Amino acid sequence: MNFVRESFPVGPLQCNCTVLGDRDTGTGYVFDPGGHPERIIATVERLGLKIAGIVHTHAHLDHFLAAGDVRRHTGAPIWLHRGDKFLWDALEQQCLAFGVPYTAQPDPDHWLEDQQDLECGGRCIHTPGHTPGSASFYFEEQKLLLAGDTLFLGSVGRTDLPGGDPKALQASIQQRLYRLDEASSVVTGHGPETTIGNEMRQNAFVRA
Ligand SMILES: [Zn+2]
Ligand SMILES: [Zn+2]
């Protein structure tokens, strides 16, 4: 495997979008296309990847406002955990609440399952709490976690929005994420990257 990965902030709330894949097979994924579709598509083309899926850590507006554009351009299906369907369906209300221009998005094509394998060696981990359908994605060989808004550098996702559950968030982080290899890099939903070990010892809200 010749793994490549680029993560960069997109959209009105600077959500971290990740494009990754295997240059040997040419297969890749786009995670959380929250905006700036032209930048995402340019990254996909520069890396020479054929996108197998457009995958979402959850359905807050800032993580999927470019899903339709990326789908139209790549032909890849949209994936979401079913627990966040109610949020995906409420995109217009979410945009109103956050003062962000609304653009309609297509429905998800497929529902993600806990422990589902992705190509390129990835695996879905259902991590409810920030939202009921929040999912993280772990690439074991690369020791890489895409955590969405579940875990941040020194912090955790808010649980005061519809469907948020602080107990579930704590359980997801302690029982699922903190059992991964401590050396794993964590791409968070917003802001800088961190590592599992760093958060196990220093997170201000949930420690191991
Ligand atoms: Zn969120
Ligand atoms: Zn977010």
What one-character-per-residue DSSP string does 144-205 give? EEEEETSEETTEE----STT--HHHHHHHHHHTGGGS-TT-EEEESSS--EEHHHHHHH-SS
- Closest ligand to 100 CA? 2
- CA of 104 relative to ligand 2 center, distance in Å: 18
Per-residue tens of pLDDT for the chain, all 208 residues: 999 999 999 999 999 999 999 999 999 999 999 999 999 999 999 999 999 999 999 999 999 999 999 999 999 999 999 999 999 999 999 999 999 999 999 999 999 999 999 999 999 999 999 999 999 999 999 999 999 999 999 999 999 999 999 999 999 999 999 999 999 999 999 999 999 999 999 999 999 9
Q: Which ligand is nearest to the Cα of residue 12, counting in written order?
A: 2
| Helix or strand holding residue 122 (H, E) | strand 122-126
The per-residue pLDDT for 141 is 97
Instruction: Name the closest ligand to CA 15.
Output: 2
Please state, in angstroms and rounded to a whole number, the distance separating the CA atoms of residues 187 and 195.
8
Which domains occur in the chain, in start order? 3-202 (3.60.15.10)
Taking the centre of ligand 2 as the mean of its atom positions, its distance from the CA of residue 64, in whole angstroms, is 10
- The ligand that comes nearest to the alpha carbon of residue 162 is 1
Write the DSSP symbol of residue 82: G
Per the CB < 8 A criterion, the answer to whether 41 and 73 are in contact is yes
What is the per-residue pLDDT for 72? 98
Q: Which residue has the tokens 């999927």?
A: 64
Ligand 1 mean position, distance from CA 23 (Å): 30
Per-residue model confidence (pLDDT) at position 2: 97
Distance of CA 13 from the midpoint of ligand 2 (Å):
7
22 C-alpha to ligand 2 centroid (Å): 26
Q: How many percent of the chain have pLDDT more than 70?
A: 100
* Nearest residue to 20 (alpha-carbon basis) of 64, 59, 50: 50
Give the strand pairing for 27-31 and 15-22: antiparallel
pLDDT for the residue numbered 202: 98
- Quote the ligand 2 centre to 58 CA distance (angstroms): 8
Amino acid 140: pLDDT: 98
- The tens digit of pLDDT for each residue in 14-54 reads 999 999 999 999 999 999 999 999 999 999 999 999 999 99
Cα 74 to middle of ligand 1, angstroms: 25
Provide the β-strand partners of residue 139: 122, 144
Q: How far is the CA of 26 from the centre of ligand 1 (A)?
A: 30
